[in-house]
Amino acid sequence: MPQASKHRDENLPAELYHYTNWSGLRGIIETQSLWATRYNHLNDATEVEHFRDLITDALADKIKPILREIRGSKFSSRRAFDKAGGLLAIARNDAQALVDSIYQASFTGHPGGTPFAVPYITSFCSHANDHAYERANGLLSQWRGYGSESNGRYAIVFDRGRLLSLLKRESDHFDYPHLQMCKVVYNTNPLAEDFSSMFSSIVDTLSKVLRKHITEEDSAVAAMSNVLMDFLSATTRFKHRGFQEEREIRIVASPKSDELNAKFIADLGKDTATTKMIKSKQTRQHPDGLKEIEYLSLFASLPSAYLPINKVIVGPHREQRTLRKRVQSLVGQHVSVQCSETPYID
């Protein structure tokens, strides 16, 4: 089994902004927890999937020299290549088959099987590079996107360092094959330097796996195990450029399931059973009332765990001062509550 991933980006901003409405704010304060939503229940239809084509194309380019070498070795190979549609088609098909297999094993599960690391995500905005006004009053696009005149608009400002400490406690208490707080990388050109390095490492390792498969060399299981955590980290932090204005920081949590724990015990023996608690999934009704949303409640079961909230900003509203008093009553006098000066009204 791959080693659990506990990535922590040391270059994260000191404060993280979480935009929400009154229902969300009240739920967070009353439960002292954050909801991490299952990746395919989020509002970005390409979440996690956005990385698939990029890694497939890069991997296909990487294995072309291997296939050229095989094709040129003997006449029968050239005939087989032509019959299969040519070198480019084979490279693309082989790369796609490997990437699809990893996606299936990680996120959806093979038929009759259990996925290894279904990601659940909770999101924050970073205003580290914004002007002081945005840090004090919030971002207009976020006020437009979250909440309403009827349900209010709020930004909860968290202390990043103390939130990371709380995340460590969560990982010590529950079994997470993959858990990280990280910056989102958007598909701009060029990609962020640290992501490009990780991406190159993944492509190099997966190309070795394909070489072993194509040339029928020794098993590539060890190489796959080494790259899986980087693959999970990359797929869950790569996002469409249309969301770039958010400059998102996110927590990605992939808990071990009861089914996966039972499978490890059945296949590998009782010594592989987790000594930590299994994180339970929960469901809530979608606002449209037509479907349910699956989520994790982070930090809810930790003893004496309190969210590190620096302040709450009350967003634009006709009754803003009344809402400020309502929020102050909810959070208590130890948390600062401020009103945004941005004059946006529905």
Q: Does 276 have pLDDT greater than 60?
A: yes
- Do 167 and 305 lie in one domain? The reply is yes
Q: What pLDDT score was predicted for residue 224?
A: 65
Residues in the chain: 346
Higher pLDDT, 190 or 105: 105
Higher pLDDT, 288 or 147: 147
- Do 150 and 261 lie in one domain? The reply is yes
Per-residue pLDDT tens for 198-221?
Answer: 888 888 888 888 777 666 555 555
Per-residue pLDDT tens for 71-100?
Answer: 666 545 666 666 666 777 888 888 999 899
Q: What is the mean pLDDT of residues 20-33?
A: 95
- Do 327 and 307 lie in one domain? The reply is yes
Asked whether residue 191 is domain-assigned, the answer is: no
Higher pLDDT, 286 or 133: 133
Q: Does 254 have pLDDT greater than 80?
A: yes
Q: What pLDDT score was predicted for residue 47?
A: 87
**What is the biggest distance separating any 2 CA atoms in the chain, rounded to whole angstroms?**
81
- SS3 call for 147: coil
Instruction: List helix spans (H) across the chain.
Output: 22-31, 50-71, 75-83, 87-103, 132-137, 140-145, 160-173, 193-214, 221-235, 258-268, 320-331
- Do 177 and 267 lie in one domain? The reply is yes
> In this structure, what are the phi and psi dihedrals at residue 201, rounded to the nearest 5 degrees?
-60, -40
- Do 19 and 132 lie in one domain? The reply is yes
- Do 153 and 224 lie in one domain? The reply is no
- Do 246 and 280 lie in one domain? The reply is yes
- Do 211 and 322 lie in one domain? The reply is no
Q: What pLDDT score was predicted for residue 1?
A: 43
Asked whether residue 297 is domain-assigned, the answer is: yes
From CA 1, how far away is CA 45, in angstroms rounded? 30
Q: What pLDDT score was predicted for residue 335?
A: 97
Smallest CA-to-CA distance from 33 within 289, 282, 344, 296 is with 296
Max avg pLDDT among 74-83, 150-159, 286-295:
150-159
Q: What is the mean pLDDT of residues 157-184?
A: 94
Q: What is the mean pLDDT of residues 8-17?
A: 82
Asked whether residue 216 is domain-assigned, the answer is: yes
Asked whether residue 311 is domain-assigned, the answer is: yes
Structure tokens at 152: 């209010």
- Do 95 and 171 lie in one domain? The reply is no
What is the dihedral angle through the alpha carbons of 30, 34, 36, 37, rounded to the nearest 10 degrees? Answer: 40
Q: What pLDDT score was predicted for residue 229?
A: 83
Q: What pLDDT score was predicted for residue 306?
A: 94
Max avg pLDDT among 138-152, 185-199, 216-230:
138-152
- SS3 call for 146: coil
Higher pLDDT, 285 or 297: 297
Asked whether residue 190 is domain-assigned, the answer is: no
Q: What pLDDT score was predicted for residue 288?
A: 66
Q: Does 188 have pLDDT greater than 50?
A: yes
The burial of 345, by beta-carbon neighbours within 10 Å (0-12 exposed, 13-18 middle, 19 or more buried), is given as exposed
Contact 206, 59 (CB under 8 A): yes
- Do 18 and 32 lie in one domain? The reply is yes
From CA 234, how far away is CA 194, in angstroms rounded? 11
Whole-number mean pLDDT of the chain? 84
Smallest CA-to-CA distance from 232 within 210, 204, 211, 202 is with 202
Asked whether residue 138 is domain-assigned, the answer is: yes
Please tell me the total count of domains within the chain.
Answer: 2
Domain that holds residue 149: 1-40+119-184+239-346
Q: Does 22 have pLDDT greater than 90?
A: yes
One-letter amino acid for residue 290 of the chain = L
Asked whether residue 215 is domain-assigned, the answer is: yes
Helices (H) and strands (E) in the chain, counts: 11, 12
From CA 16, how far away is CA 43, in angstroms rounded? 20
Max avg pLDDT among 53-62, 80-89, 283-292, 305-314:
305-314
Per-residue pLDDT tens for 108-131?
Answer: 888 878 888 899 999 999 987 889
- Do 277 and 337 lie in one domain? The reply is yes
Q: Does 248 have pLDDT greater than 50?
A: yes
Asked whether residue 192 is domain-assigned, the answer is: no
Q: What pLDDT score was predicted for residue 263?
A: 66
pLDDT band at 4 (very low <50, low <70, confident <90, very high): very low
List, in sequence order, every residue forming a beta bridge with 37; answer none if it has no partner. 121, 295
Query: Which residue's structure tokens are 């990359």?
Result: 234
List, in sequence order, every residue forming a beta bridge with 277; answer none if it has no partner. 174
- Do 174 and 250 lie in one domain? The reply is yes
> In this structure, what are the phi and psi dihedrals at residue 48, rounded to the nearest 5 degrees?
70, -40
| For the chain, percent of residues with pLDDT exceeding 70 | 82
